[in-house]
Amino acid sequence: MPGWRILEAAELSAAVEELVIRASLDLPVDVERALEEARGREGSPLSRYALDIILENARLARREGLPICQDTGIFHLFIDLGEGTALPDGYREIVDEGLRRATRKVPLRSSVVDDPLGKRVDRGDNTPARIHLHYGAPPGRVRLTVLAKGGGSENATRLFMLLPGVGKEGLRDVVVRAVREKAAQACPPVVVGVGVGAEAEGALGLALRSLLRPLGERHPRAELASLEMSMLEDINSTGIGAAGLGGDVTALDVHLEEAPTHIACLPVGVVISCHALRRSGLLL
């Protein structure tokens, strides 16, 4: 294909292997910094102790080359294509081969089962990766980002199909309700991703992708940035605290993303990550 760069199969597979390992063993700098800041402002001795243990665990995992959490999770791969780039034929199997190698190499616990309503037999290799295709990388380049999502926080996912008239207050109410109901079982302090608009599937996709944004980075629209901050304040006022022990910091951050939607709809997806927000990316 003249003028196009087709990503080589070996390069894609090796990159996935590297990113899965890095995400599983090395907590991102922005997440570790947010945990340290949370520890500094936490007033509850029990929650401060929990944050100390969380931070020590992250440092030991990095130093010893061990998984941050025994629940190695479901692996999501976000692929952002730049202009003039394409993926090789059979790219899904190529991605899964990189995930298999990473699972064997670390090794990682396999958390994915077949036949979910029946025998639930473990696949043994964490495949298949959940692949999300987007555009927006620089021309001629491909950006890959791996996000590992544990079962406890995955079970906290919520979808609300609201009516448009509820507005921002209705949005705030359902997001805080989702956190009240499930954050204590999702290994807090959590990071809350909120997707508004599109349709049901799209709202959840927006919420999931929002977890890729560095903690502390606000939405570029001032109105939505203010809403993120106010929801974060509301969530931290719940008193759930680190490890559900009660305290001042229940969430490290709230990220909101939006998309156009139907005139009759206001879909809201809420995707919660535990304190081990495991992600890693690179630009090929």
What residue segments make up the domains of the chain, in order of their start? 5-25+68-149, 152-275
Mean pLDDT, the chain, whole residue set:
96
**Contact by Cβ (8 Å): 67, 109:** yes
pLDDT at 118: 97
Distance from C-alpha of 38 to C-alpha of 251, rounded to nearest angstrom: 9
Please state the rounded mean pLDDT for residues 80-84.
96
Question: What percent of the chain is modeled with pLDDT above 90?
Answer: 99
* Residue partners of 84: CB distance under 8 A and separation at least 6: 3, 4, 5, 139, 140
pTM of the predicted model as reported, rounded to 2 decimal places: 0.95
pLDDT at 136: 93
**Torsion on CA atoms 125, 192, 235, 171, rounded to nearest 10:** -130
Q: Is the pLDDT of residue 55 over 60?
A: yes
Q: Is the pLDDT of residue 102 over 90?
A: yes
Half-sphere exposure (Cβ direction) of 225: Cα atoms closer than 13 Å: 9
Question: 152-275 sits in which CATH class?
Answer: alpha beta
pLDDT at 137: 96
pLDDT at 39: 97
Q: Is the pLDDT of residue 1 over 70?
A: no
pLDDT at 65: 96
Q: Is the pLDDT of residue 45 over 90?
A: yes
pLDDT digits (tens, 9 = 90+) for 254-278: 999 999 999 999 999 999 999 999 9
pLDDT at 142: 97
Nearest C-alpha neighbor of 5 from the set 143, 142, 98, 97 = 142
Q: Is the pLDDT of residue 2 over 80?
A: no
pLDDT at 4: 85
pLDDT digits (tens, 9 = 90+) for 14-44: 999 999 999 999 999 999 999 999 999 999 9
